[in-house]
Chain A
Protein backbone atom coordinates (compact mmCIF):
# COMPACT_ATOMS: atom_id res chain seq x y z
CA UNK A 1 0.00 0.00 0.00
CA UNK A 2 2.78 2.41 0.91
CA UNK A 3 5.04 1.47 -1.95
CA UNK A 4 6.14 4.60 -3.73
CA UNK A 5 7.41 3.01 -6.92
CA UNK A 6 4.88 1.95 -9.49
CA UNK A 7 4.73 -1.72 -10.24
CA UNK A 8 3.70 -2.27 -13.84
CA UNK A 9 0.81 -4.67 -14.10
CA UNK A 10 2.08 -8.15 -14.74
CA UNK A 11 5.62 -7.53 -13.61
CA UNK A 12 5.16 -9.25 -10.27
CA UNK A 13 6.63 -12.70 -9.95
CA UNK A 14 7.13 -13.22 -13.67
CA UNK A 15 7.90 -16.91 -13.26
CA UNK A 16 4.59 -17.61 -11.54
CA UNK A 17 2.75 -15.51 -14.06
CA UNK A 18 4.28 -17.49 -16.89
CA UNK A 19 3.35 -20.76 -15.30
CA UNK A 20 -0.19 -19.55 -14.79
CA UNK A 21 -0.19 -18.35 -18.39
CA UNK A 22 0.88 -21.76 -19.63
CA UNK A 23 -1.72 -23.48 -17.51
CA UNK A 24 -4.37 -21.13 -18.86
CA UNK A 25 -3.21 -21.76 -22.42
CA UNK A 26 -3.38 -25.48 -21.88
CA UNK A 27 -6.87 -25.11 -20.46
CA UNK A 28 -7.97 -23.04 -23.46
CA UNK A 29 -6.48 -25.61 -25.80
CA UNK A 30 -8.22 -28.50 -24.15
CA UNK A 31 -11.62 -26.77 -24.19
CA UNK A 32 -11.10 -25.80 -27.84
CA UNK A 33 -10.17 -29.36 -28.64
CA UNK A 34 -13.22 -30.72 -26.83
CA UNK A 35 -15.50 -28.24 -28.61
CA UNK A 36 -14.14 -29.20 -32.03
CA UNK A 37 -14.35 -32.90 -31.21
CA UNK A 38 -17.98 -32.44 -30.25
CA UNK A 39 -18.67 -30.62 -33.52
CA UNK A 40 -17.09 -33.41 -35.56
CA UNK A 41 -19.08 -35.97 -33.61
CA UNK A 42 -22.38 -34.17 -34.23
CA UNK A 43 -21.62 -33.71 -37.92
CA UNK A 44 -20.76 -37.41 -38.26
CA UNK A 45 -23.95 -38.39 -36.50
CA UNK A 46 -25.91 -36.06 -38.75
CA UNK A 47 -24.29 -37.52 -41.85
CA UNK A 48 -24.70 -41.21 -41.02
CA UNK A 49 -27.48 -41.60 -38.47
CA UNK A 50 -30.55 -40.48 -40.49
CA UNK A 51 -29.83 -42.77 -43.48
CA UNK A 52 -29.07 -45.64 -41.12
CA UNK A 53 -32.41 -45.11 -39.40
CA UNK A 54 -34.18 -44.79 -42.75
CA UNK A 55 -35.18 -41.13 -42.33
CA UNK A 56 -35.99 -39.70 -45.80
CA UNK A 57 -33.90 -36.84 -47.19
CA UNK A 58 -36.78 -34.38 -47.32
CA UNK A 59 -37.17 -34.76 -43.56
CA UNK A 60 -33.54 -34.66 -42.47
CA UNK A 61 -31.01 -34.11 -45.25
CA UNK A 62 -27.44 -35.19 -44.43
CA UNK A 63 -24.50 -32.80 -44.19
CA UNK A 64 -23.34 -33.67 -47.66
CA UNK A 65 -26.85 -33.12 -49.03
CA UNK A 66 -26.83 -29.69 -47.48
CA UNK A 67 -23.46 -28.85 -48.99
CA UNK A 68 -24.62 -29.96 -52.43
CA UNK A 69 -27.77 -27.88 -51.98
CA UNK A 70 -25.65 -24.94 -50.86
CA UNK A 71 -23.76 -25.07 -54.16
CA UNK A 72 -27.02 -25.21 -56.07
CA UNK A 73 -28.42 -22.28 -54.11
CA UNK A 74 -25.26 -20.34 -54.82
CA UNK A 75 -25.58 -20.80 -58.59
CA UNK A 76 -29.35 -20.95 -59.08
CA UNK A 77 -31.00 -19.03 -56.26
CA UNK A 78 -28.57 -16.10 -56.04
CA UNK A 79 -27.76 -17.07 -52.48
CA UNK A 80 -25.17 -14.31 -52.10
CA UNK A 81 -27.71 -11.57 -52.85
CA UNK A 82 -30.21 -13.04 -50.40
CA UNK A 83 -27.61 -13.41 -47.67
CA UNK A 84 -26.31 -9.92 -48.29
CA UNK A 85 -29.83 -8.47 -48.12
CA UNK A 86 -30.58 -10.19 -44.83
CA UNK A 87 -27.23 -9.16 -43.35
CA UNK A 88 -27.76 -5.58 -44.50
CA UNK A 89 -31.21 -5.31 -42.94
CA UNK A 90 -30.07 -7.01 -39.76
CA UNK A 91 -27.31 -4.46 -39.30
CA UNK A 92 -29.49 -1.57 -40.45
CA UNK A 93 -32.40 -2.53 -38.20
CA UNK A 94 -30.04 -3.14 -35.32
CA UNK A 95 -28.35 0.23 -35.78
CA UNK A 96 -31.58 2.24 -36.13
CA UNK A 97 -33.39 0.36 -33.36
CA UNK A 98 -30.59 0.57 -30.84
CA UNK A 99 -29.88 4.20 -31.67
CA UNK A 100 -33.52 5.09 -31.12
CA UNK A 101 -33.75 2.92 -28.01
CA UNK A 102 -30.63 4.44 -26.48
CA UNK A 103 -31.64 8.01 -27.36
CA UNK A 104 -35.11 7.66 -25.90
CA UNK A 105 -33.72 5.78 -22.91
CA UNK A 106 -31.36 8.67 -22.15
CA UNK A 107 -34.04 11.30 -22.64
CA UNK A 108 -36.49 9.47 -20.37
CA UNK A 109 -33.67 8.84 -17.92
CA UNK A 110 -33.23 12.58 -17.58
CA UNK A 111 -36.93 13.37 -17.17
CA UNK A 112 -38.56 11.65 -14.25
CA UNK A 113 -41.93 13.08 -15.27
CA UNK A 114 -42.01 11.60 -18.75
CA UNK A 115 -40.54 8.37 -17.54
CA UNK A 116 -43.44 7.96 -15.13
CA UNK A 117 -46.01 9.03 -17.73
CA UNK A 118 -44.73 6.65 -20.38
CA UNK A 119 -43.58 3.67 -18.34
CA UNK A 120 -46.89 1.71 -18.43
CA UNK A 121 -47.02 2.00 -22.23
CA UNK A 122 -43.40 1.07 -22.57
CA UNK A 123 -44.06 -1.99 -20.46
CA UNK A 124 -47.09 -2.93 -22.55
CA UNK A 125 -45.19 -2.54 -25.81
CA UNK A 126 -42.28 -4.44 -24.39
CA UNK A 127 -44.51 -7.38 -23.55
CA UNK A 128 -46.39 -7.32 -26.88
CA UNK A 129 -44.85 -9.86 -29.29
CA UNK A 130 -43.13 -7.59 -31.79
CA UNK A 131 -42.97 -10.17 -34.58
CA UNK A 132 -46.78 -10.25 -34.60
CA UNK A 133 -46.67 -6.75 -36.08
CA UNK A 134 -45.11 -8.07 -39.29
CA UNK A 135 -48.38 -8.75 -41.18
CA UNK A 136 -49.64 -5.34 -40.12
CA UNK A 137 -46.55 -3.62 -41.49
CA UNK A 138 -47.01 -5.52 -44.77
CA UNK A 139 -50.58 -4.27 -44.99
CA UNK A 140 -49.34 -0.75 -44.42
CA UNK A 141 -46.17 -0.66 -46.49
CA UNK A 142 -46.56 -3.50 -48.99
CA UNK A 143 -44.21 -6.27 -50.02
CA UNK A 144 -40.92 -4.40 -49.80
CA UNK A 145 -38.09 -4.09 -47.33
CA UNK A 146 -39.92 -1.65 -45.10
CA UNK A 147 -41.88 -4.21 -43.03
CA UNK A 148 -38.85 -6.32 -42.14
CA UNK A 149 -36.83 -3.26 -41.29
CA UNK A 150 -39.61 -2.01 -39.02
CA UNK A 151 -40.01 -5.35 -37.25
CA UNK A 152 -36.27 -5.43 -36.64
CA UNK A 153 -36.17 -1.86 -35.37
CA UNK A 154 -39.08 -2.57 -33.06
CA UNK A 155 -37.64 -5.77 -31.64
CA UNK A 156 -34.21 -4.21 -31.10
CA UNK A 157 -35.58 -1.00 -29.62
CA UNK A 158 -36.92 -2.26 -26.28
CA UNK A 159 -34.08 -4.16 -24.68
CA UNK A 160 -31.78 -1.22 -25.41
CA UNK A 161 -34.30 1.32 -24.14
CA UNK A 162 -35.05 -0.60 -20.96
CA UNK A 163 -31.39 -1.26 -20.16
CA UNK A 164 -30.39 2.35 -20.69
CA UNK A 165 -33.33 3.68 -18.70
CA UNK A 166 -32.65 1.35 -15.79
CA UNK A 167 -28.99 2.29 -15.80
CA UNK A 168 -29.81 6.01 -15.86
CA UNK A 169 -31.98 5.56 -12.80
CA UNK A 170 -29.23 3.82 -10.88
CA UNK A 171 -26.32 6.16 -11.59
CA UNK A 172 -24.52 6.78 -8.28
CA UNK A 173 -26.13 9.90 -6.75
CA UNK A 174 -22.89 10.77 -5.01
CA UNK A 175 -21.06 10.86 -8.33
CA UNK A 176 -23.66 13.26 -9.68
CA UNK A 177 -23.38 15.39 -6.55
CA UNK A 178 -19.63 15.45 -6.95
CA UNK A 179 -20.03 16.66 -10.52
CA UNK A 180 -22.55 19.26 -9.34
CA UNK A 181 -20.15 20.43 -6.65
CA UNK A 182 -17.57 20.85 -9.40
CA UNK A 183 -20.04 23.11 -11.19
CA UNK A 184 -20.48 20.87 -14.20
CA UNK A 185 -23.44 21.84 -16.35
CA UNK A 186 -26.38 19.46 -16.77
CA UNK A 187 -25.17 18.48 -20.21
CA UNK A 188 -21.62 17.86 -19.00
CA UNK A 189 -22.86 15.77 -16.09
CA UNK A 190 -24.70 13.66 -18.63
CA UNK A 191 -21.74 13.37 -20.96
CA UNK A 192 -19.03 12.88 -18.35
CA UNK A 193 -20.79 10.94 -15.60
CA UNK A 194 -24.18 9.50 -16.55
CA UNK A 195 -23.44 8.33 -20.06
CA UNK A 196 -20.19 6.51 -19.18
CA UNK A 197 -21.88 5.05 -16.08
CA UNK A 198 -24.55 3.47 -18.25
CA UNK A 199 -22.06 1.95 -20.72
CA UNK A 200 -22.00 -1.54 -19.19
CA UNK A 201 -25.81 -1.74 -19.30
CA UNK A 202 -25.97 -0.26 -22.79
CA UNK A 203 -23.49 -2.83 -24.04
CA UNK A 204 -25.44 -5.65 -22.40
CA UNK A 205 -28.62 -4.34 -24.04
CA UNK A 206 -26.92 -4.17 -27.42
CA UNK A 207 -25.74 -7.73 -27.10
CA UNK A 208 -29.28 -8.96 -26.41
CA UNK A 209 -30.55 -6.75 -29.23
CA UNK A 210 -28.07 -8.18 -31.72
CA UNK A 211 -29.47 -11.67 -31.28
CA UNK A 212 -33.02 -10.37 -31.58
CA UNK A 213 -32.23 -8.41 -34.76
CA UNK A 214 -31.78 -11.63 -36.72
CA UNK A 215 -35.15 -12.87 -35.49
CA UNK A 216 -36.81 -9.62 -36.55
CA UNK A 217 -35.42 -9.73 -40.08
CA UNK A 218 -36.20 -13.43 -40.48
CA UNK A 219 -39.81 -13.02 -39.44
CA UNK A 220 -40.18 -10.01 -41.71
CA UNK A 221 -38.85 -12.02 -44.63
CA UNK A 222 -40.86 -15.11 -43.79
CA UNK A 223 -44.13 -13.25 -43.75
CA UNK A 224 -43.70 -11.24 -46.89
CA UNK A 225 -41.27 -10.29 -49.59
CA UNK A 226 -39.12 -12.15 -52.07
CA UNK A 227 -35.63 -11.49 -50.83
CA UNK A 228 -33.49 -12.66 -47.98
CA UNK A 229 -32.77 -15.88 -46.16
CA UNK A 230 -36.16 -15.79 -44.47
CA UNK A 231 -37.75 -15.85 -47.90
CA UNK A 232 -35.55 -18.82 -48.88
CA UNK A 233 -36.80 -20.62 -45.77
CA UNK A 234 -40.46 -20.21 -46.71
CA UNK A 235 -39.66 -20.93 -50.37
CA UNK A 236 -37.67 -24.05 -49.49
CA UNK A 237 -40.35 -25.11 -47.05
CA UNK A 238 -42.97 -24.83 -49.78
CA UNK A 239 -40.94 -27.10 -52.04
CA UNK A 240 -40.26 -29.63 -49.27
CA UNK A 241 -36.59 -28.78 -49.72
CA UNK A 242 -35.37 -29.28 -46.16
CA UNK A 243 -31.72 -28.85 -47.14
CA UNK A 244 -32.48 -25.34 -48.35
CA UNK A 245 -34.16 -24.51 -45.04
CA UNK A 246 -31.25 -25.96 -43.09
CA UNK A 247 -28.76 -23.91 -45.08
CA UNK A 248 -30.72 -20.72 -44.64
CA UNK A 249 -30.93 -21.29 -40.88
CA UNK A 250 -27.19 -21.88 -40.67
CA UNK A 251 -26.48 -18.71 -42.61
CA UNK A 252 -28.85 -16.70 -40.41
CA UNK A 253 -27.02 -18.03 -37.38
CA UNK A 254 -23.71 -17.01 -38.94
CA UNK A 255 -25.00 -13.47 -39.51
CA UNK A 256 -26.17 -13.23 -35.90
CA UNK A 257 -22.93 -14.70 -34.65
CA UNK A 258 -20.80 -12.24 -36.59
CA UNK A 259 -22.84 -9.30 -35.29
CA UNK A 260 -22.65 -10.60 -31.73
CA UNK A 261 -18.90 -11.18 -31.93
CA UNK A 262 -18.32 -7.72 -33.34
CA UNK A 263 -20.27 -6.27 -30.42
CA UNK A 264 -18.39 -8.39 -27.91
CA UNK A 265 -15.13 -6.99 -29.29
CA UNK A 266 -16.43 -3.43 -29.13
CA UNK A 267 -17.58 -4.09 -25.58
CA UNK A 268 -14.23 -5.46 -24.49
CA UNK A 269 -12.62 -2.30 -25.85
CA UNK A 270 -15.15 0.15 -24.43
CA UNK A 271 -15.30 -1.49 -21.00
CA UNK A 272 -11.58 -2.14 -20.69
CA UNK A 273 -11.60 -0.41 -17.31
CA UNK A 274 -13.66 -3.09 -15.63
CA UNK A 275 -11.59 -5.62 -13.74
CA UNK A 276 -11.49 -8.84 -15.72
CA UNK A 277 -13.26 -11.80 -14.24
CA UNK A 278 -10.83 -14.50 -13.26
CA UNK A 279 -10.56 -17.57 -15.46
Chain B
Protein backbone atom coordinates (compact mmCIF):
# COMPACT_ATOMS: atom_id res chain seq x y z
CA UNK B 1 0.00 0.00 0.00
CA UNK B 2 1.54 3.25 -1.04
CA UNK B 3 -0.92 5.58 0.61
CA UNK B 4 -3.55 5.02 3.23
CA UNK B 5 -6.00 7.35 4.96
CA UNK B 6 -7.39 5.86 8.20
CA UNK B 7 -10.59 7.63 9.25
CA UNK B 8 -9.03 11.04 8.82
CA UNK B 9 -10.82 14.12 10.07
CA UNK B 10 -9.40 17.60 9.71
CA UNK B 11 -10.79 20.62 11.49
CA UNK B 12 -9.67 24.19 11.13
CA UNK B 13 -10.28 27.10 13.42
CA UNK B 14 -11.63 30.01 11.44
CA UNK B 15 -10.75 33.59 12.28
CA UNK B 16 -14.05 34.10 14.02
CA UNK B 17 -13.25 31.12 16.25
CA UNK B 18 -15.64 28.63 14.69
CA UNK B 19 -14.57 25.09 13.99
CA UNK B 20 -14.67 24.25 10.31
CA UNK B 21 -14.56 20.59 9.40
CA UNK B 22 -12.83 20.25 6.06
CA UNK B 23 -12.91 16.48 5.76
CA UNK B 24 -14.65 14.00 8.00
CA UNK B 25 -13.82 10.35 8.57
CA UNK B 26 -12.11 9.79 5.24
CA UNK B 27 -10.64 6.36 4.64
CA UNK B 28 -9.13 5.05 1.45
CA UNK B 29 -6.15 3.19 0.11
CA UNK B 30 -4.03 3.81 -2.94
CA UNK B 31 -2.01 0.82 -4.08
CA UNK B 32 1.45 0.96 -5.50
CA UNK B 33 1.55 2.09 -9.11
CA UNK B 34 -2.12 3.01 -9.03
CA UNK B 35 -3.51 6.27 -10.39
CA UNK B 36 -6.37 7.49 -8.22
CA UNK B 37 -8.35 10.68 -8.71
CA UNK B 38 -10.31 12.57 -6.10
CA UNK B 39 -13.23 14.58 -7.40
CA UNK B 40 -15.71 16.65 -5.48
CA UNK B 41 -17.47 19.98 -5.34
CA UNK B 42 -15.31 23.02 -4.72
CA UNK B 43 -14.45 23.54 -1.08
CA UNK B 44 -14.91 19.89 -0.18
CA UNK B 45 -11.44 19.57 1.28
CA UNK B 46 -9.73 17.97 -1.71
CA UNK B 47 -6.64 20.03 -1.25
CA UNK B 48 -6.67 19.35 2.48
CA UNK B 49 -6.13 15.67 1.68
CA UNK B 50 -3.14 16.62 -0.39
CA UNK B 51 -1.61 18.88 2.25
CA UNK B 52 -1.95 16.14 4.86
CA UNK B 53 -0.29 13.61 2.57
CA UNK B 54 2.56 16.04 1.95
CA UNK B 55 2.87 16.45 5.72
CA UNK B 56 2.27 20.19 5.64
CA UNK B 57 -0.24 19.73 8.43
CA UNK B 58 -1.54 16.90 10.57
CA UNK B 59 -5.02 15.39 10.68
CA UNK B 60 -7.14 16.28 13.72
CA UNK B 61 -8.15 12.65 14.01
CA UNK B 62 -6.99 9.54 12.24
CA UNK B 63 -3.76 8.77 10.45
CA UNK B 64 -2.21 9.22 7.04
CA UNK B 65 0.27 6.53 6.06
CA UNK B 66 2.73 6.70 3.22
CA UNK B 67 4.44 3.38 2.46
CA UNK B 68 3.25 2.10 5.82
CA UNK B 69 4.73 4.97 7.80
CA UNK B 70 2.61 7.55 9.57
CA UNK B 71 3.19 11.00 8.05
CA UNK B 72 4.42 13.36 10.77
CA UNK B 73 5.83 16.14 8.68
CA UNK B 74 7.18 17.01 5.26
CA UNK B 75 9.04 14.02 3.90
CA UNK B 76 10.85 12.89 0.86
CA UNK B 77 8.38 10.17 -0.05
CA UNK B 78 5.89 12.59 -1.47
CA UNK B 79 6.19 14.97 -4.41
CA UNK B 80 3.42 17.43 -5.06
CA UNK B 81 2.42 19.76 -7.80
CA UNK B 82 -0.21 22.47 -7.92
CA UNK B 83 -2.17 24.44 -10.46
CA UNK B 84 0.58 27.05 -10.18
CA UNK B 85 3.83 25.68 -11.51
CA UNK B 86 5.78 27.19 -8.58
CA UNK B 87 8.91 27.43 -10.66
CA UNK B 88 11.40 29.85 -9.17
CA UNK B 89 11.50 32.65 -11.74
CA UNK B 90 15.14 33.51 -11.00
CA UNK B 91 16.37 30.02 -11.81
CA UNK B 92 16.66 28.44 -15.21
CA UNK B 93 14.69 25.28 -15.90
CA UNK B 94 17.37 22.78 -15.02
CA UNK B 95 18.17 24.39 -11.66
CA UNK B 96 14.45 24.53 -10.95
CA UNK B 97 14.29 20.79 -11.48
CA UNK B 98 17.28 20.40 -9.16
CA UNK B 99 15.58 22.43 -6.42
CA UNK B 100 14.02 19.46 -4.65
CA UNK B 101 17.33 17.61 -4.51
CA UNK B 102 19.25 20.41 -2.85
CA UNK B 103 18.20 19.62 0.70
CA UNK B 104 19.27 16.01 0.30
CA UNK B 105 23.00 16.33 -0.01
CA UNK B 106 23.04 15.00 -3.57
CA UNK B 107 26.35 16.11 -5.15
CA UNK B 108 25.96 18.88 -7.74
CA UNK B 109 27.05 16.75 -10.68
CA UNK B 110 24.54 14.06 -9.72
CA UNK B 111 21.78 16.61 -9.35
CA UNK B 112 22.45 17.95 -12.81
CA UNK B 113 22.49 14.48 -14.33
CA UNK B 114 19.19 13.51 -12.70
CA UNK B 115 17.56 16.81 -13.61
CA UNK B 116 18.61 16.46 -17.23
CA UNK B 117 17.22 12.92 -17.33
CA UNK B 118 13.87 14.12 -15.96
CA UNK B 119 13.74 16.97 -18.46
CA UNK B 120 14.34 14.46 -21.23
CA UNK B 121 11.53 12.30 -19.91
CA UNK B 122 9.17 15.29 -19.73
CA UNK B 123 10.02 16.29 -23.31
CA UNK B 124 11.87 19.42 -22.30
CA UNK B 125 15.36 18.50 -23.50
CA UNK B 126 16.96 21.59 -24.97
CA UNK B 127 15.08 24.00 -22.73
CA UNK B 128 17.25 23.51 -19.65
CA UNK B 129 18.84 26.95 -19.90
CA UNK B 130 15.61 28.83 -20.52
CA UNK B 131 14.00 30.80 -17.74
CA UNK B 132 10.40 30.11 -16.72
CA UNK B 133 9.06 33.29 -18.34
CA UNK B 134 10.35 32.11 -21.69
CA UNK B 135 8.20 28.96 -21.59
CA UNK B 136 4.51 28.45 -22.31
CA UNK B 137 2.12 27.46 -19.51
CA UNK B 138 2.08 23.83 -20.63
CA UNK B 139 5.86 23.63 -20.77
CA UNK B 140 6.12 25.19 -17.34
CA UNK B 141 3.82 22.52 -15.93
CA UNK B 142 5.97 19.84 -17.56
CA UNK B 143 9.01 21.41 -15.92
CA UNK B 144 7.16 21.30 -12.59
CA UNK B 145 6.45 17.61 -13.18
CA UNK B 146 10.12 17.03 -13.93
CA UNK B 147 11.00 18.74 -10.64
CA UNK B 148 8.44 16.58 -8.83
CA UNK B 149 9.76 13.35 -10.34
CA UNK B 150 13.41 14.30 -9.82
CA UNK B 151 13.17 13.69 -6.08
CA UNK B 152 12.05 10.13 -6.90
CA UNK B 153 8.98 10.27 -4.69
CA UNK B 154 6.98 7.19 -3.88
CA UNK B 155 3.78 9.13 -4.41
CA UNK B 156 3.03 11.96 -6.78
CA UNK B 157 0.28 14.34 -5.70
CA UNK B 158 -1.28 16.45 -8.42
CA UNK B 159 -3.59 19.25 -7.31
CA UNK B 160 -5.51 20.39 -10.37
CA UNK B 161 -2.35 20.72 -12.42
CA UNK B 162 -4.20 21.32 -15.68
CA UNK B 163 -6.93 23.67 -14.60
CA UNK B 164 -5.15 26.88 -15.56
CA UNK B 165 -4.47 25.73 -19.12
CA UNK B 166 -6.48 26.23 -22.27
CA UNK B 167 -8.57 23.28 -23.48
CA UNK B 168 -6.18 22.01 -26.14
CA UNK B 169 -3.03 22.38 -24.10
CA UNK B 170 -4.84 20.59 -21.32
CA UNK B 171 -5.58 17.52 -23.48
CA UNK B 172 -2.02 17.34 -24.73
CA UNK B 173 -0.57 17.81 -21.29
CA UNK B 174 -2.84 15.17 -19.75
CA UNK B 175 -1.55 12.80 -22.39
CA UNK B 176 2.04 13.73 -21.78
CA UNK B 177 1.70 13.47 -17.98
CA UNK B 178 -0.12 10.14 -18.20
CA UNK B 179 2.66 8.74 -20.41
CA UNK B 180 5.42 10.01 -18.16
CA UNK B 181 3.74 8.75 -15.00
CA UNK B 182 2.99 5.34 -16.49
CA UNK B 183 6.57 5.05 -17.65
CA UNK B 184 7.93 5.92 -14.22
CA UNK B 185 5.33 3.64 -12.54
CA UNK B 186 4.62 6.23 -9.87
CA UNK B 187 1.69 5.96 -7.51
CA UNK B 188 -0.38 9.04 -8.20
CA UNK B 189 -3.17 10.93 -6.50
CA UNK B 190 -4.85 13.50 -8.71
CA UNK B 191 -7.12 16.12 -7.24
CA UNK B 192 -9.44 17.53 -9.86
CA UNK B 193 -12.87 18.99 -10.46
CA UNK B 194 -12.85 17.94 -14.10
CA UNK B 195 -14.90 14.73 -14.30
CA UNK B 196 -13.68 13.78 -17.77
CA UNK B 197 -10.09 14.28 -16.69
CA UNK B 198 -10.62 11.91 -13.76
CA UNK B 199 -12.08 9.25 -16.05
CA UNK B 200 -9.41 9.66 -18.71
CA UNK B 201 -6.43 9.44 -16.37
CA UNK B 202 -7.34 7.16 -13.48
CA UNK B 203 -7.58 3.56 -12.44
CA UNK B 204 -9.97 4.52 -9.70
CA UNK B 205 -11.97 7.60 -8.71
CA UNK B 206 -12.97 8.70 -5.22
CA UNK B 207 -15.98 10.98 -5.08
CA UNK B 208 -16.11 13.37 -2.14
CA UNK B 209 -19.25 15.01 -0.79
CA UNK B 210 -19.66 18.67 0.01
CA UNK B 211 -18.01 20.00 3.14
CA UNK B 212 -17.35 18.29 5.41
CA UNK B 213 -15.93 16.06 2.71
CA UNK B 214 -16.37 12.30 2.96
CA UNK B 215 -15.94 9.59 0.40
CA UNK B 216 -19.42 8.98 -1.05
CA UNK B 217 -18.42 6.69 -3.89
CA UNK B 218 -15.53 4.79 -5.28
CA UNK B 219 -15.56 4.06 -9.00
CA UNK B 220 -13.16 1.66 -10.65
CA UNK B 221 -12.42 2.80 -14.18
CA UNK B 222 -12.15 -0.46 -16.06
CA UNK B 223 -10.80 0.91 -19.32
CA UNK B 224 -7.52 0.42 -21.18
CA UNK B 225 -5.03 3.11 -22.22
CA UNK B 226 -4.50 4.77 -18.88
CA UNK B 227 -1.20 5.96 -20.27
CA UNK B 228 -2.87 7.59 -23.25
CA UNK B 229 -5.89 9.70 -22.29
CA UNK B 230 -6.25 10.88 -25.87
CA UNK B 231 -6.99 7.32 -26.94
CA UNK B 232 -9.19 6.57 -23.97
CA UNK B 233 -11.11 9.71 -24.80
CA UNK B 234 -12.49 8.13 -27.95
CA UNK B 235 -14.09 5.24 -26.05
CA UNK B 236 -17.87 5.41 -25.63
CA UNK B 237 -17.71 4.15 -22.01
CA UNK B 238 -16.05 7.37 -20.87
CA UNK B 239 -19.29 9.31 -20.82
CA UNK B 240 -20.99 6.53 -18.80
CA UNK B 241 -18.33 6.88 -16.13
CA UNK B 242 -18.59 10.65 -16.15
CA UNK B 243 -22.37 10.26 -15.83
CA UNK B 244 -21.90 8.04 -12.78
CA UNK B 245 -19.74 10.62 -11.04
CA UNK B 246 -22.19 13.29 -12.05
CA UNK B 247 -24.99 11.43 -10.28
CA UNK B 248 -22.88 10.83 -7.18
CA UNK B 249 -22.16 14.52 -6.96
CA UNK B 250 -25.93 15.13 -7.26
CA UNK B 251 -25.26 17.80 -9.80
CA UNK B 252 -28.73 17.55 -11.40
CA UNK B 253 -30.34 18.79 -8.23
CA UNK B 254 -28.13 21.83 -8.25
CA UNK B 255 -28.78 22.66 -11.89
CA UNK B 256 -31.77 24.90 -11.76
Q: Mark B108-150, 1 if CB is under 8 A from A, else 0.
A: 0000000000000001011100111110101100000000000
Q: How many chain A residues touch the partner (CB < 8 A)? A: 25
Distance between Cα atoms of A172 and B87 in the complex (Å): 11
Which residues of B91-122 have CB atoms within 8 Å of chain A's CB atoms? 91, 99-100, 102-104
Tell me whether A174 and B102 are in contact (CB under 8 A): no
Give Cα A199–Cα B55 distance, bound, in whole angstroms: 29
Q: A9-B130, A183-B74 are in contact. List 18 more A-B contacts (CB 8 A).
A: A1-B169, A1-B172, A5-B126, A6-B126, A175-B86, A175-B88, A177-B56, A178-B80, A180-B74, A181-B80, A182-B76, A182-B100, A183-B76, A188-B102, A192-B102, A196-B90, A199-B90, A273-B89
Which residue of chain A lies nearest to B172 when distances are taken between CB atoms in the complex? A2
Residue pair B89, A174 in contact (C-beta under 8 Å) = no
Closest residue of chain B to A184 (Cβ to Cβ) is B103
Q: Looking across the interface, which residue of chain A has its beta carbon closest to that of B135?
A: A1
Q: Which residues B51-106 have CB closer than 8 A to chain A?
A: 51, 54-56, 74-76, 78-80, 82, 84, 86, 88-91, 99-100, 102-104
| Contact residues of A: prevailing secondary structure | loop
Q: Give the secondary structure class of B's interface.
A: loop
Alpha-carbon gap, A185 to B139, bound state (A): 29
- Whether A274 is near chain B, meaning CB under 8 Å from some CB there, is yes
- Interface status of B151 (Cβ within 8 A of chain A): yes
Give chain A's interface residues, CB within 8 Å of chain B. Answer: 1-2, 4-6, 9, 172, 174-175, 177-178, 180-185, 188, 192-193, 196, 199, 273-275
Complex contacts, B82 vs chain A, CB 8 Å: 174
**What are 27 A-B residue pairs whose CB atoms fall within 8 Å in the complex?**
A1-B136, A1-B138, A4-B126, A5-B126, A6-B127, A174-B82, A174-B86, A175-B86, A175-B88, A177-B54, A177-B56, A178-B80, A181-B54, A181-B74, A182-B99, A182-B151, A183-B103, A185-B103, A188-B102, A188-B103, A193-B88, A196-B88, A199-B90, A273-B89, A273-B90, A273-B132, A274-B133
